[in-house]
Amino acid sequence: MPTPNPMTVNHLVGVLCRARKPNIVVEGDDDVIIYRELAKRIGILDVVLLPSGGRNKLLQIYERRGEFSQVPVAFIADQDMWLFSGIEPGYEDVIWTSGYSIENDLYSDAGLERLLDENETAEHQQILDSISTWFAFAVEEYLAGNSPNLDLHCDEMILPGQTELDTGFCTRQGFRTPNPNRVQQIRSAYKLLLRGKQLFQLLVRFLSKPAHGFEKASLNDYALYNFALKIPGSHPLLDRLMEEVKRKIAAHKPTS
């Protein structure tokens, strides 16, 4: 979940109305960490990154874009559960992540799992099986019109040292066995379809072990984001997002 922004939609629209530079509206402060680095990498320097405090607020600002049409503004949003239900109409000019969230696009591009050793890889894959089963249940709940609890740390779901879903957790969440086809759909493309924050949390669990040379106190999700951003090589999903930003800003035609 993006870090809440205490500023109201009205205030943020006012900020854009007074803007002198191009703006990129993103969901939260966490996203700014990633997008600022991407903007530098692709040469978008003279731009303001504006966190909105979540997708709902971002889309409300987008719906009022006519009020600040004099300034180039690009909107980047996570698909979240719309990845499974489809993006709702009316948001065609929003730039959407390829995966569930920006963390998924970063995870998929970075290839961080190669840091795991052979024994860890087997355990890691077993845990991914379990998380995929849980998330398939959450997707089915969402598609049925319910509101599953998604803001969960992977350690709540699967206790450290274990590979299966915790029984107590399943009871508290009202878990039921999901359709195996849904599980397979998610498991076969987990880098994009599982919740990205949990993918990074799981890697932190493994990479915090002394054998990997990371200081446990200094390794967290955000440190791993920065590490992933600095891995050399192509980042096609992330680069696609920023290229779309460049195109939207370049194509902007101010209206009076």
Q: What is the pLDDT at residue 214?
A: 59
Report the percent of the chain where pLDDT is more than 90: 77
pLDDT, mean over the chain: 92
Q: Give the pLDDT band of residue 212 (cuts 50, 70, 90).
A: low
CB 158 within 8 A of CB 127: yes
Residue pLDDT, tens place only, 28-51: 988 888 888 888 877 777 889 999
AA identity, residue 224: L
Q: Give the pLDDT band of residue 3 (cuts 50, 70, 90).
A: low
Q: What is the pLDDT at residue 253?
A: 79
AA identity, residue 117: D
Cα angle 95, 98, 99 (rounded to 5 degrees) comes to: 125
Torsion angle, alpha carbons of 212, 217, 218, 223, to 10: 90
Single pTM value for the model: 0.92
Check pLDDT > 80 for residue 4: no
Check pLDDT > 70 for residue 87: yes
Q: What is the pLDDT at residue 37?
A: 85
For residue 65, give the DSSP letter.
G
Helix, strand, coil percent content, the chain, rounded in steps of 5: 55, 5, 40
Residue pLDDT, tens place only, 94-128: 999 999 999 999 999 999 999 999 989 999 999 99
**Token code pair at residue 73:** 């503004």
- Domains identified in the chain and CATH numbers: 9-100+236-250 (3.40.50), 112-229 (no CATH)
Closest to 185 (Cα-Cα) out of 142, 137, 150: 137
Helix (H, G, I), strand (E, B) or coil at 73: strand
Contacting residues for 207 by C-beta, under 8 A, at least 6 apart: 115, 116, 214, 219, 224
Residue pLDDT, tens place only, 160-207: 999 999 999 999 999 999 999 999 999 999 999 999 999 999 999 999
C-alpha distance across the termini of the chain, in Å: 37
Residue pLDDT, tens place only, 48-80: 999 999 999 999 999 999 999 999 999 999 999
The residue ranking higher by pLDDT, 123 or 218, is 123
CA 168 to chain centre: 27
Collect contacts of 252-256 with beta carbons under 8 A, ≥24 apart. Answer: 252/22, 252/71, 252/72, 252/73, 254/69, 254/70, 254/71, 255/69, 255/70, 256/70
Check pLDDT > 80 for residue 216: no
Give all strands (DSSP E) within the chain, no chain letters: 23-26, 48-51, 73-77, 95-96
Q: Is 70 left (phi over 0), alpha (psi -120 to 50) or beta?
A: alpha
